[in-house]
Structure 1
Amino acid sequence: MRYVVVGGGVAGVCCVEELCRLCPDDSVVLVSAAKVLKGVTVVARLSRTLEELATVERQLDELPYPNLTVVHDAAVGIDTGAQAVRLASGQRLPYDKLCVCAGARPKQLPPSVFTTSTAAPGQSSSEAEAERQCQLAAMKARVLTIRDTDSVSRLGAQLAHATRVAVVGNGGIALELIAGLSGVDVTWVMRHEHIGDAFFDLDAAQFLLEELQRQREQGQLQDQQQGHLQGLQRGQQQQGQVQQVQQGVQQQQGQGQQQHQHQQGQQQQGQGQQVQQQGQAAAAEPSGSAAASPTKEASQAGRQQLLDGREAIPVLGHAVGPHWVQQLLPAAVVAGAGGRVSTLHHGRVELKYGCEVASIELAPQPDSQADGNAGSDAGSSKHSPALLLTLTGGEQVPADLVLLAIGVSPALEWVPARLQRAPDGGLKLDRLMRSSDPCIFAAGDSASCCWAATDSAHWFQMRLWSQARAMGVYAAHCMSGVQDQRGADMAFELFTHATHFLGHKVVLLGLYNGQRLDGEPHGDLISYSRVTEGPQRTFVRLLLLRGRVQGVVLIGDTGLEETFENLILDQLDVSQYGPSLLDPDFELDHVFD
């Protein structure tokens, strides 16, 4: 049997590893356009079906299977009649069974969004076109599409010179990205009415915003304290320098009295007093520029603010703390700040709800910079104009950098159109992960599990790493014909996802946001939520349909994952307990007795 898997991401690597394990005597070929493969590792098992995962990267030759061949090439087509994959190099790979795990491409803004200025009077058509292309290049160099850690790692050079950033999108990548943007002012543009619409309802989103504002205030206070301490240290250093000057003057005075006449000594003493007075005046004022340390008035204001916690925090938009991009971004922010103490701040975050980007153009340059160099050094906001975003509501937002995280589309342009697609663009699959061609399977972002709506009461598809892993493993079982023996389809009994958003552990179980429940009578749906106060606040939200738990959102370390997982799977009627289910003193284990 000849198995071919296209794609070196999580789904493809998991599928290949499982095929090699299940079929050690068969040929397995992995086609990867990238030199680095991405897999997953289990960080923690939280319950029977819930695992916390982390991605791992490996080189092409690091998969230790003797029956595996790794081909570093890009798939450009499939000859379904001859059962062969066509590669960019011209090679053809025959297969008996093929699994498409080609991932997805990030969505882009339409070209019509980018607006250029009209041609100047007297310009020829060629000159006007060259100017237009120059402007487009300058704008697009500042618009980065964010998909994963690979694309985030390219932000450093851009952020080093940015002070204003616009983030467009409201999914998981946008949430994580917002967390990592420290030291710049951020405008967060989303078409929804609350943050994290794909993951949270309004109550959960509000809880996160409250937590993030609290973190924001703590961060601002720490920044002020740090800046004040650094200002004091600079003052002490300056005082030491003044004392050294005074000692030098005194030594000069003594030498002058021994070597010169009394009149010359008096003259030198007068000069020494003048230097000493200048040194004392310097000691009375903080040293350095305004960007390096606070002025006397600013220091006094800062001390007064530190005495009053509420006064210490200016009125800002919603802001967040660092998370998974923290290791990638602060170095760039510090580099861009030139080491200035005054830039040690979290920056403000302003939210723009219910809108999208209508147009992007280059902001007008000051006269001193209007030298026609819009296309030069396009990546540096210090030497080229900022962008001006116009939102669908008409509001204009300036930004040095625009970060897009507006979703993904399956990367299936190379797959023949005769293979049936689902409405979301993925390959339409049956319960055994087969496409409309029974020899071609799919997993991960390339797959659309249309069967889930009828075959699984509490599982639905989201394009997540955790689901890519489960699909890759299950596809391997289906390709090798052992799906009924291995129980891999248990991963499709219950939607589970464990992650961290904005510094908080988040667990999502079942139909946590009411997915597929729109047609149910309103009176049959009940939602309970609880916020536990304390140093580590937590949020719990239950969704019940006719007294049975359908979905759960857990934010923070609640320790309730396994209990609510069992309540969803067992479908016990818990209507008699009502909101007591969320009482911290209620013994949930008694429900199963």
Structure 2
Amino acid sequence: MASDRDPFVIVGGGIAGVTCAEQLASQFPSEEVYLLTASPLVKTVTNFKQVSKTLEEFNVEEQPSSVLEGKYPNLKVIQSTVKLLQVKQHLVQTENGQTFHYKKLCLCSGARPKLLTQDNPHVLGIRDTDSAQEFQKRLSKAKRIVVVGNGGIALELVYEIEGCEVIWAIKDKAIGNTFFDAGAAQFLIPSLEPDKKDRSLPCKRARYTTDKTGAGQSGVSGELGSALGPDWHEGVELRGAEKSSSRTHMEYECEVEKIYTQQDFFMSDLNKENSKLGMWPVYVQLTNGMAYGCDFIVSATGVVPNTDPFLCGNNFELAADHGLKVDDHMRTSEQDVYAAGEVCTIGWEPSPLWQQMRLWTQARQMGWYAARCMAAEVLEESIDLDFCFELFSHITKFFNYKVVLLGKFNAQGLGQDHELLVRCTKGREYVKVVLSGGRMLGAVLIGDSDLEETFENLILNQMDLSRYGEELLNPNIDIEDYFD
């Protein structure tokens, strides 16, 4: 059983874990807090800005663990992976032989890439700092790559790459299906043409590198580190071997059927059918019948919650996506064990305007809320579900445009019971709102529309907007004046 003298222990040096550890160290300055991470670097939130009630912006920086320890004297960072977890004994054992008996434990071990295939040297997943540096090195010698996937990493990559032909294999009918609809995709596609918009200013974020390979920041043995920051590509030259501008060719509604090594390809029937493919290190056959040779393949097809190291001998309840199921106080099914960030999956009935997406903003919010829940239980206080779970909100940047997502921005779960209003100015902005029964349930804002706070209020207030009709998005009307 746990003792009052036992420390708080957090596993994982990503945003969820570090946020949780900082909050606990701050709230309990006389108690020990241990953060277990496999890397000497941890992810920290800097330049935090509360944009509106639910929208927040911040930078993510990699910093030496000594920075955290200097800020919080009671916070100790242990650089080692977790070898064993015994929840009945409230015990965590690390690879370097240390044993920790915890009062409360929070698992923030993140997720690992869902690679197309394991152990193929020509297939690269981009997840943490080490894999991003490996990608940059290999790209510098490449003339053509195949990118498979349609999420955030794929979107950022395809836009940022220069001097290399990109074949982009997308399982959906439009790019960025996770984040926006086909209309927004059409608005963004011109940004992929060779004469792209001017780049944004170089990122001034401090960067650190480490020689450590193998385990990363998750604090879990043998796994890659925590996810890259939202602007990981800023200041990193993603340039291929060609002097000309990059060319991007999209293959829609297809997946990878088979990957061939050079030797296997020349012995296959595919070579006979596609004799003009030329000499490449690796070949990809797609389900739509197309085939391409390339220098390497980027697998950007999502992630799997990194739960495996904790399951042996314990009785965690898992969600369908293999995440640790947590209740509305971020508790797992095991006593005194909490989870936050990508490793967990919510097990409560969410607000009609919120959904879980494994994003940086939610990692920070979950880590912060998990710490508050752990503290409340120790202090025997009650705590309500945090307001951040009331409305889904996210700010990011794609193709050099500011992108704001609010509520049911893609009409998630609404079936046919909704209507869309869209305003689009080519090269400047794309604004879409989702309405049902005259009430706004979601919005997508691409570009500098400055409508995010107004729309957030309209969604939260659930005002009946029927009488405004299409005037709601009339660019000649200052919509903010309507709702002051």
Matched to 2:159, the amino acid is: A
Q: Report the Cα distance in structure 2 between the residues aligned to 1:556 and 1:448, rounded to whole angstroms.
A: 31
Q: Which residue of 2 aligns with 1:355?
A: 254
Q: Is the 8 A contact 1:496 1:509 kept in 2?
A: yes
Q: 2:181 aligns with which of 176, 201, 215?
A: 201
Q: Which residue of 2 aligns with 1:79?
A: 86
Q: 1:529 aligns with which of 401, 422, 425?
A: 422
Question: 2:245 matched to 1:346?
Answer: yes
Deviations 1:292-341 (A, max 9, x none): xxxxxxxxxxxxxxxxxxxxxxxxxxxxxxx85253234x53xx45xxxx
SS at match of 2:13: coil
Deviations 1:418-438 (A, max 9, x none): 110011111101100001113
* TM-score (normalizing by structure 2): 0.84
Q: Which residue of 2 aligns with 1:15?
A: 20
Q: Report the Cα distance in structure 1 between the residues aligned to 2:458 and 2:144, rounded to whole angstroms.
A: 46
Q: Which residue of 1 aligns with 2:459?
A: 568
Q: 1:403 to 1:110 in 2, by over 3 A?
A: closer
Q: Report the Cα distance in structure 2 between the residues aligned to 1:542 and 1:366, rounded to whole angstroms.
A: 48
Q: Is the 8 A contact 1:46 1:561 kept in 2?
A: no
Q: Is the 8 A contact 1:159 1:329 kept in 2?
A: no
Q: 2:369 aligns with which of 456, 474, 491?
A: 474
Q: Which residue of 2 aligns with 1:232?
A: none
Deviations 1:365-398 (A, max 9, x none): 999xxxxxxxxxxxxxxxx942111112222111
Q: Is the 8 A contact 2:434 2:440 kept in 1?
A: yes
Question: 2:301 matched to 1:406?
Answer: yes
Q: 2:327 aligns with which of 430, 433, 443?
A: 430
Q: Which residue of 2 aligns with 1:153?
A: 133
Question: 2:33 matched to 1:25?
Answer: no
Q: Which residue of 1 aligns with 2:270?
A: none
Q: 2:448 aligns with which of 540, 544, 557?
A: 557
Q: 1:328 aligns with which of 218, 236, 239?
A: 236
Deviations 1:9-53 (A, max 9, x none): 000000000001111122211100111100222354432221122
Q: Is the 8 A contact 1:473 1:488 kept in 2?
A: no
Q: Which residue of 2 aligns with 1:458?
A: 353
SS at match of 1:434: coil
Q: 1:484 to 1:571 in 2, by over 3 A?
A: farther
Matched to 2:101, the amino acid is: P
1:218, distance to aligned residue in structure 2 (A): 5.6
Q: 1:196 to 1:105 in 2, by over 3 A?
A: same
Matched to 2:425, the amino acid is: T
1:150, distance to aligned residue in structure 2 (A): 4.0
Q: Is the 8 A contact 2:191 2:399 kept in 1?
A: no
Q: 1:579 to 1:219 in 2, by over 3 A?
A: closer
Q: 1:62 to 1:108 in 2, by over 3 A?
A: same
Q: Report the Cα distance in structure 2 between the residues aligned to 1:408 and 1:178, rounded to whole angstroms.
A: 19
SS at match of 1:509: strand
Q: 1:73 to 1:401 in 2, by over 3 A?
A: same
Query: Which residues of 2 match residues 482-497 of structure 1 at below 5 A?
Result: 489-497=386-394
Q: Is the 8 A contact 1:483 1:489 kept in 2?
A: no
Structure whose residues are more often helix by fraction: 1
Q: Report the Cα distance in structure 2 between the residues aligned to 1:151 and 1:486, rounded to whole angstroms.
A: 40
Q: Report the Cα distance in structure 2 between the residues aligned to 1:219 and 1:446, rounded to whole angstroms.
A: 36
Q: Which residue of 1 aligns with 2:98?
A: 91
Q: Report the Cα distance in structure 1 between the residues aligned to 2:471 and 2:197, rounded to whole angstroms.
A: 36
1:358, distance to aligned residue in structure 2 (A): 1.4
Q: Is the 8 A contact 2:43 2:60 kept in 1?
A: yes
Deviations 1:485-514 (A, max 9, x none): 887811111111101011111000111011
Q: 1:186 to 1:558 in 2, by over 3 A?
A: same
Query: Which residues of 2 match residues 155-194 of structure 1 at below 5 A?
Result: 155-194=135-174
Deviations 1:183-208 (A, max 9, x none): 10000011111101100111111111
Q: Is the 8 A contact 1:148 1:173 kept in 2?
A: no
Q: Report the Cα distance in structure 1 between the residues aligned to 2:90 and 2:396, rounded to whole angstroms.
A: 39
Q: Is the 8 A contact 1:155 1:329 kept in 2?
A: no
Q: Report the Cα distance in structure 1 between the residues aligned to 2:419 and 2:473, rounded to whole angstroms.
A: 13
Matched to 2:131, the amino acid is: S
Matched to 1:388, the amino acid is: Y
Q: Percent identity?
A: 41
1:56, distance to aligned residue in structure 2 (A): 0.8
Question: 2:65 matched to 1:60?
Answer: yes
Q: Is the 8 A contact 2:192 2:248 kept in 1?
A: no
Deviations 1:94-117 (A, max 9, x none): 001100000110011235xxxxxx
Question: 2:412 matched to 1:515?
Answer: yes
1:211, distance to aligned residue in structure 2 (A): 4.1
Q: Which residue of 2 aligns with 1:283?
A: none
Q: Report the Cα distance in structure 2 between the residues aligned to 1:411 and 1:218, rounded to whole angstroms.
A: 37
Q: Report the Cα distance in structure 2 between the residues aligned to 1:71 and 1:528, rounded to whole angstroms.
A: 52
- What is the alpha-carbon root mean square deviation over aligned residues? 2.5
SS at match of 1:93: strand
Matched to 1:189, the amino acid is: A
Q: Is the 8 A contact 2:341 2:367 kept in 1?
A: yes
Q: Report the Cα distance in structure 2 between the residues aligned to 1:485 and 1:477, rounded to whole angstroms.
A: 10
Q: 1:81 to 1:351 in 2, by over 3 A?
A: same
Query: Which residues of 2 match residues 245-394 of structure 1 at below 5 A?
Result: 325=233, 327-330=235-238, 333=240, 336-337=241-242, 343=243, 345-363=244-262, 385-394=280-289
Q: Which residue of 2 aligns with 1:544?
A: 435
Q: 1:501 to 1:82 in 2, by over 3 A?
A: same
Q: Report the Cα distance in structure 1 between the residues aligned to 2:452 and 2:155, rounded to whole angstroms.
A: 23
Q: Report the Cα distance in structure 1 between the residues aligned to 2:380 and 2:425, rounded to whole angstroms.
A: 43
* TM-score (normalizing by structure 1): 0.69
Instruction: Report the structure number with the largest CA radius of gyration.
Output: 1
Q: Report the Cα distance in structure 1 between the residues aligned to 2:48 and 2:131, rounded to whole angstroms.
A: 24
1:409, distance to aligned residue in structure 2 (A): 0.6
Q: Report the Cα distance in structure 2 between the residues aligned to 1:366 and 1:548, rounded to whole angstroms.
A: 56
Q: 1:324 to 1:35 in 2, by over 3 A?
A: closer
Structure whose residues are more often strand by fraction: 2
1:585, distance to aligned residue in structure 2 (A): 2.2
